[in-house]
Chains A and B, each alone.
Chain A
């Protein structure tokens, strides 16, 4: 059976306002089901915009598909059901007062019965090492704990695609290591926006590099990216 790629970008251009310079320009790449890739680039290169476009949070020209479904205004809800998204700042996506409520929300709103939803959320929190925080109010958590809770909320629906925006930002070295180990152990397809090449290399082998909104490299050699950043 032919499985649709988890994510495809075909000549995608994004402009925030008509007539202005594009933030993403002519971006083309594909991510196979279960494949892991790092989306690397310096600050302002368009990484976050690309992730937002993939779930229809910003408009685009060209074609984006998530698991075969084209991304558009009408299909946005269907597309988002297939994606787990970790926003750059975890506080932005934690919308409920208690940890367990936030983690369970994704499944609850899909119509899963409350007991079952809470049990799945508890399992997701356990898997990320924050199971004991389930009843805590969110404002008592550290940044790293909030990030794990946000990730649990993204994983709880077992989506076929994960889009992670700078997941290692603000984490200490042990925290980064633990997160890399955890993400490396997942079988879902994922695109991880980061400028931390070492972190990216721990999770997958493929690197898609953005510069000025264009893909300038798509391959397996982090050295090539370092050279474009003039780090070598």
Chain B
């Protein structure tokens, strides 16, 4: 059901995926900020968040299967906040003027709506970028070079780390720590102890290879960059307009 981490990158086939990489990153970041800024407790705010998220997901061409996976991830992350309702309904509401159940619902709803929008917008933006796009896009933006080099490498190495984690978990299970209850808990708690030395060892070897190949000193711009066109400027202007509208709704300028 869950799509592999690496296959999400560059899987988007929408018009936004054809912009220059730096424009995709910038527009995605602004849309993300707009969704978090718009108020979730007013009808215009909810409409703006929903419409912006849907429009960005469609523009990025996020595959339906991946979108569903991100939505499930968001629900798993943010629905548990509704479990706090019995506590919130008894105490004074700090997030909204309402009282009783309406007031108690405000906080989890706020978190759910902003969280779901954030996850979907981030996922859609990621889907427009391959690893190479991310590198060239970040290099074209005013981001510290060292940050770009490290971030790109972290993302590049994630699949190897995930594979390593799966192997460690399988080895623990095979050696008798599978099952349920106490055995499963023991397996879970022993995972970091087994996992960490392996990851440190791998990081050591990776550092040696990076040093030998001169990765840290290299100017990664040697791989080339794409120029920004009129379409890029248009999309960024639209994203800025949405951000301005979100800010106006949040601080009641309208």
| A-to-B contact residues, CB < 8 Å | 52, 55, 57, 77, 80, 85, 87-89, 91-93, 95-98, 101, 105-106, 108-109, 114, 117, 137-139, 153
Instruction: Judge if B156 is at the interface, Cβ distance under 8 Å.
Output: yes
B6 proximity list for chain A (CB < 8 A): 137, 139
Produce 1/0 per residue, B194-229, CB < 8 A to A: 000000001001101111111101110011100000
How many residues of chain B get a CB closer than 8 Å to chain A's CBs? 28
Between A and B, 11 residue pairs with Cβ closer than 8 Å are A52-B208, A55-B212, A57-B212, A77-B214, A93-B209, A96-B132, A97-B152, A109-B219, A114-B223, A137-B10, A139-B159
Produce 1/0 per residue, B65-101, CB < 8 A to A: 0000000000000000000000000000000000000
A80 proximity list for chain B (CB < 8 A): 212, 214
The secondary-structure label for the interface of chain A is helix
A15, B116: Cα distance in complex, Å = 54
Instruction: Judge if B103 is at the interface, Cβ distance under 8 Å.
Output: no
B156 proximity list for chain A (CB < 8 A): 95-97, 138
Partner among A77, A95, A98 whose Cβ is within 8 Å of the Cβ of B153 = A95
Inter-chain contact A101/B213, CB cutoff 8 Å: no
A192, B6: Cα distance in complex, Å = 33
A111 nearest CB neighbor, chain B only: B222
Inter-chain contact A101/B130, CB cutoff 8 Å: no
Within the complex, the shortest CB–CB distance from B139 to chain A, in Å, comes to 13
A118, B224: Cα distance in complex, Å = 12
Inter-chain contact B222/A108, CB cutoff 8 Å: yes
B223 proximity list for chain A (CB < 8 A): 101, 108, 114
Within the complex, the shortest CB–CB distance from B153 to chain A, in Å, comes to 7
Inter-chain contact A92/B218, CB cutoff 8 Å: no
B206 nearest CB neighbor, chain A only: A92
Inter-chain contact B208/A57, CB cutoff 8 Å: yes
Are A92 and B202 also in contact (CB < 8 A) when A108-B222, A137-B6 are? yes
Inter-chain contact B205/A89, CB cutoff 8 Å: yes
Instruction: Judge if B160 is at the interface, Cβ distance under 8 Å.
Output: yes
Instruction: Judge if B131 is at the interface, Cβ distance under 8 Å.
Output: yes
Within the complex, the shortest CB–CB distance from B202 to chain A, in Å, comes to 7
A77, B214: Cα distance in complex, Å = 8
The secondary-structure label for the interface of chain B is helix
A93, B205: Cα distance in complex, Å = 8
Inter-chain contact A98/B222, CB cutoff 8 Å: no
A77 proximity list for chain B (CB < 8 A): 214
8 tightest A-B CB contacts, nearest first = A97-B131, A93-B209, A108-B222, A109-B218, A92-B205, A139-B159, A139-B6, A92-B209
A96 proximity list for chain B (CB < 8 A): 131-132, 156
A85 proximity list for chain B (CB < 8 A): 212
Within the complex, the shortest CB–CB distance from B150 to chain A, in Å, comes to 12
A105, B152: Cα distance in complex, Å = 15
A114, B219: Cα distance in complex, Å = 13
A57, B217: Cα distance in complex, Å = 16
Produce 1/0 per residue, B120-141, CB < 8 A to A: 0000000000111001000000
A89, B160: Cα distance in complex, Å = 12
A138, B217: Cα distance in complex, Å = 22
A117, B218: Cα distance in complex, Å = 15
A102 nearest CB neighbor, chain B only: B213
Within the complex, the shortest CB–CB distance from B249 to chain A, in Å, comes to 39
Are A106 and B213 also in contact (CB < 8 A) when A89-B205, A92-B205 are? yes
Inter-chain contact A137/B131, CB cutoff 8 Å: yes
| Interface core residue of A85, A91, A97, A105 (most chain B CB under 10 Å) | A97
A87 nearest CB neighbor, chain B only: B209
B156 nearest CB neighbor, chain A only: A97
B135 proximity list for chain A (CB < 8 A): 97
CB contacts under 8 Å to A, within B122-177, are 130-132, 135, 152-153, 156, 159-160
Within the complex, the shortest CB–CB distance from A197 to chain B, in Å, comes to 25
A107, B130: Cα distance in complex, Å = 23
A153, B10: Cα distance in complex, Å = 24
B212 proximity list for chain A (CB < 8 A): 55, 57, 80, 85, 93
